[in-house]
Structure 1
Amino acid sequence: MSLRLRVLSPLAAVVALAGCAASPSRPPAAPNRIDDKAVDALYAKLDEASRGYEDALKMQSGGDPGADAALHKALDELLRSAAQCGATAGCEAQRFFSTFDRLLRLKDGGELAGEPAEQTLPDTQSDEDTAGEQSPVLQAMPQAQRTVTLLRGHKLSDLIAMNGPVKAALEEWLTQMRPNLMDAWVNYQYLRYRMWPEYRKADLPEALLFGILAKESGGKVHAMSRSGAAGPLQFMYATGLRFGLATVNGFDERFDPALAARANAAYIDEQLKALNDNLEFVLAAYNGGEGRMRRVAAANPDASFWDPKIYFTLSPETREYVPMVLAAAWLFLHPERYNLEFPKVDGEPGQIELAQPASLAELTVCLGQAGGMRDGWFRTLRNLNPALNPQVEQPAGTRLQVPKVLEAAYRQSCAAGPWQTLAADLHEAALPAPPPETQRPRTYVVRRGDTLSSIVRKLGCSNVQALAELNRLRAPHYALHPGQALHLPQCARN
């Protein structure tokens, strides 16, 4: 057994024995009798074990032959103290978890005896558990695309603490959110060739990309939140501009999966440098804004995201967001541990050239469920051709990005024949126009408190970008004033 594995086992036991320490919860109400001396004694043992562990790491880095025994002595003391804490009234088990979290990061720094500090792992390095079991998800991927490193060589799985919030998030993904997880997986497999290369260039783990995508949009490229965040990775307009996502020829580049992945990787890299390489802090910044998290990191350089003093100062949305992303990333790496089987998806990219004019909607009808796609191909066609309006016919000769499996299906069902005729007939159907007296108003008068996003929600169609362009409003503030009359797109309503 290697020294690394011998060290991991006692540390894992500390987490198991710590119990509630694995979850950032508020300290329970103090019982009537608290033995202050016993609690103080346990805290003293914790501090002593922590110092002993750090000293043992230094001894190992210097090649001291007694380091191994010192390390095990410190870990044994930590283990005994953690077990006693759970049975001692007034003892805050969170302290033991926070210490474990810090020691785990020290261990991940590559300071164990006989092991050089890890730098970037080679691409053939797979993310394995301590028993050497390899995820079938990674097995199915090309060897050259198994980059799972993060933070200067640390494995992503070493950075995901299996605490209460993450376990709760795992259960949510595996129960009520399971259909969303499966949809995100399928959508991502067809987008993978567009998005993953950008993460790989940044030496960021693919599992993290999937976790963010699953939580943010479920892999729906045209997703837009009520707050105005848009695209598969949900960039706000101003943040998108900061990372190169502009509006070009009327197309919002936040909807481009490759460009969005590139911007997201740049954001993650920037925030890792600013937030002490703390992954949870970075995810919290992505969800709730980096300003607050930078202040927290500056004031608490060694703090854990899960420390109640930090955890409970964040919004409920951010406290839910971070573990959900981490849990989705963990399931991406290790589905077999949770009786989870992702569907096999052939995401090899392909291309078709339209033999005659057709819209994405028409192609969806004539392709049907080709290739075993139970829910049809509308979402995938939109995701791979994000700049196209799905209802607008594209001229013959237009090249469209599609999964390779659809190339033959297009020639068989959509280039000509009865399914193509049916699709065209359905698409040409005209809805009856309302009589003149019931025509929807074509202007909207701004009221106090209105924002462009709230107006779009009231209208029920269009989007912020279209409304802003129609009224020549400048991003990112879209200045409005009460009484201002806005021109509305034809489909808009009050």
Structure 2
Amino acid sequence: MLLIALLSLQGCSLKNSKQAENLEQNESISELARKSGLDLPESTIRAKKNFAQTNDSWQYLISLFAIPPVDDALIEKQLKWYLAHPEYIATIQTRAEPYLYHIIKQVEAKGLPGELALLPAVESGFKAHAYSRAKAAGLWQFIPSTGRLYGLDQNWWYDGRRDVYASTDAATSYLKKLGGIFDNDWLLALASYNAGMGTVGRSIKRNAANNKATDFWSLKLPRETRNYVPRLLALAKIFANAEHYGISLKSQPHKPAFAAINIGSQLELAKAAQLSNTTVKQLLHLNPGLSRGYTPPQGPHRLLIPIDSAELFKKNLAALPVDQRVQWKRHKIKAGENLGMIARRYKTQIVAIREVNHLANNNIRAGKHLLIPVATNQTPEKPFTQASHECSP
């Protein structure tokens, strides 16, 4: 059985194990899938000219659009919803501002159609902290298992699925792989991103066995997936033809909003805010993968810093003594105490105390001292568990 069929990155509400079933190894999806051409529509050619004049990120993104236009009733339905809610179009543009340049660069570097940079609008409403009832998280809505398969660590300190930097690399890598499997038929790739390759592959094989067409529009797929792909296509159509639809695209200079800085070891966010002359709130907005008031002890030792503060941060961090990077409480163990009692007292977890103090197990001795990971400006105990997922109109 193919390992790749296990890598079913689920979108929106279709997140269950059945959709991660393998395709048979002797079946080639690429032989059955319809190949898509990449002719640029007139609106995209116009966008290229607009970008040359404005150096605007949205115009640049539109110039990368490469999925051939399609007329379909499902696209029209989604398009009408968006046009009836112009405030939503404005909202996702605002939310995308800190992340857009980085997403575009990753999409472009991997040779993906520009339309895929809009996928976070469909998946999470461009909320980097989004967490769905199906336990999918982040801009790209990775479920836990697929996140781990793509190297996105998830622990008490950190959730890589919400890490803008790491999750964007993981999602675009996954989409690139899907594109290769489906011979660059991006509608089938998107359907698989949502429903899983097993679901799409089985539908393709059924149609092929019955001498039916195997393109997205001809397949029998779950209702959510049938709407999911048109939702993205409708949004891309609006962006590509904003003037025609009376939609205003915000101007955004095509340049980085943040710098990814290797900090080398653990750092308290309150200290990072001081060093960069920003706020903890600002840093959490760029680093929503940090579930506590610290970067993880074991890494990744990377912090996204607003671009205008990056040089100041690096200069101040270099001058900061290592022993001042974190300021934790020192607890003297009393007779009768155990790690569970201590963790509850400081509103932390046993695993965190063990990791910081390099404890092999839960055994502790009275009279000894423990370092307790409690941040100066602590984030909420469960900062990103709200069901803020916005995957559909």
TM class, shorter-length: 0.5 to 0.7
Between the aligned partners of 1:348 and 1:109, the Cα distance in structure 2 is: 28
Alpha-carbon contact 2:179-2:189 (below 8 Å) kept: yes
Alpha-carbon shift at residue 221 of structure 1 (Å): 1.0
Deviations for 1:212-236, whole angstroms, at most 9, x for unmatched residues?
1101112211111100111110011
Q: Aligned ranges for residues 134-213 of structure 1 at < 5 Å?
A: 134=47, 138-139=51-52, 140-141=54-55, 146=60, 156-158=66-68, 160-176=69-85, 178-210=86-118, 212-213=119-120
2:42 to 121, 129, 134: 129
2:381 and 2:165 mapped to 1: Cα distance? Answer: 32
Aligned to 2:339: none
**Structure-to-structure mapping, 1:209-228, within 5 angstroms:** 209-210=117-118, 212-228=119-135
Q: CA deviation at 1:174?
A: 2.0
SS in 1 for 2:243: helix
Structure 2 residue identity aligned to 1:165: L
Taking a change above 3 Å as real, the CA distance of residues 237 and 407 of structure 1, as seen in their structure-2 partners, is same
Query: Does the CA contact (< 8 Å) of 1:350 and 1:407 recur in 2?
Result: no
What is the CA distance between 1:298 and its match in structure 2?
A: 3.3
Amino acid at match of 2:66: L
Alignment partner, residue 306 of structure 2: 402
* Corresponding position of 1:95: none
For the 8 Å contact 2:47–2:63, the answer to whether it is kept is no
Which of the residues 217, 228, 235 maps onto 1:306?
Answer: 217
Residue aligning to 2:286: 384
Contact 2:158 2:291 in 1 (8 A): no
1:315 aligns with 2:222: yes
**Are 2:176 and 1:269 aligned?**
yes
Q: Sort the Cα spacing of 1:208 and 1:315 in 2 relative to 1 into closer, same or farther, 3 A.
A: same
CA contact (8 A) 2:79 2:234 kept: yes
Between the two proteins, the alignment pairs up a number of residues equal to: 272
Secondary structure at the aligned position of 1:404 is classed as helix
8 A contact 2:128–2:138 mirrored in 1: yes
* Residues 350-389 of structure 1 mapped to structure 2, 5 A cutoff: 357=270, 381-388=283-290
Instruction: Determine the C-alpha separation between the residues in 1 that align with 2:131 and 2:240.
Output: 28
Residue 251 of structure 1 corresponds to 158
Displacement after TM superposition at 1:341 (Å): 0.9
Which residue identity does 1:401 align to in structure 2? Answer: I
1:58-77 alignment runs, 5 A limit: none
| Cα distance change on mapping 1:136 and 1:208 into 2, 3 Å | farther
Q: Distance in 1 between matches of 2:349 and 2:192?
A: 29
Q: Relative to 1, partners in 2 of residues 1:231 and 1:385: Cα closer, same or farther, differing over 3 Å? A: same
Shift of 1:157: 4.3
Matched letter for residue 163 of structure 2: D
Instruction: Tell me how far apart the structure 2 counterparts of residues 263 and 491 of structure 1 sit (CA, whole Å).
Output: 24
Matches of 1:208 and 1:244, distance apart in 2:
21
CA 1:134–1:387: 2 relative to 1, 3 Å:
closer
Residues 1:287 and 2:200 are matched in the alignment: no
SS in 2 for 1:401: strand
Distance 1:491 1:148 in 2: 37
Partner SS state of residue 305, structure 2: strand
Q: CA offsets per residue over residues 191-214 of structure 1, 9 Å max, x none? A: 12332222222111333212x110
* Amino acid across the alignment from 1:164: A
What SS does the aligned partner of 1:247 have?
coil
Q: What are the Cα deviations for residues 58-78 of structure 1, in whole angstroms up to 9, with x where unaligned?
A: xxxxxxxxxxxxxxxxxxxxx
Equivalent-residue separation in structure 2 for 1:181 and 1:280 (angstroms): 22
CA contact (8 A) 1:275 1:297 kept: no
The share of aligned pairs that are identical, in percent, is: 24
User: Is the Cα–Cα contact under 8 Å of residues 169 and 327 in structure 1 kept in the other structure?
Assistant: yes
Q: Which runs of 5+ in 2 are unaligned?
A: 1-33, 262-266, 296-301, 313-342, 355-379, 384-393
Query: Contact 1:135 / 1:333 at 8 angstroms: preserved in 2?
Result: no
Matched-pair contact (CA < 8 Å) for 2:48–2:60:
no
Amino acid at match of 1:156: A
The structure with more helix, counted as a fraction of residues: 1
Which amino acid counterpart does residue 236 of structure 2 have in structure 1? A
Q: Deviations over 1:330-349 (max 9, x none)?
A: 33333222111122235643
Q: Quick check: 1:278 aligned with 2:185?
A: yes
Structure index of larger Rg: 1
The secondary structure found in structure 2 opposite 1:134 is helix
Q: Distance in 2 between matches of 1:146 and 1:275?
A: 26
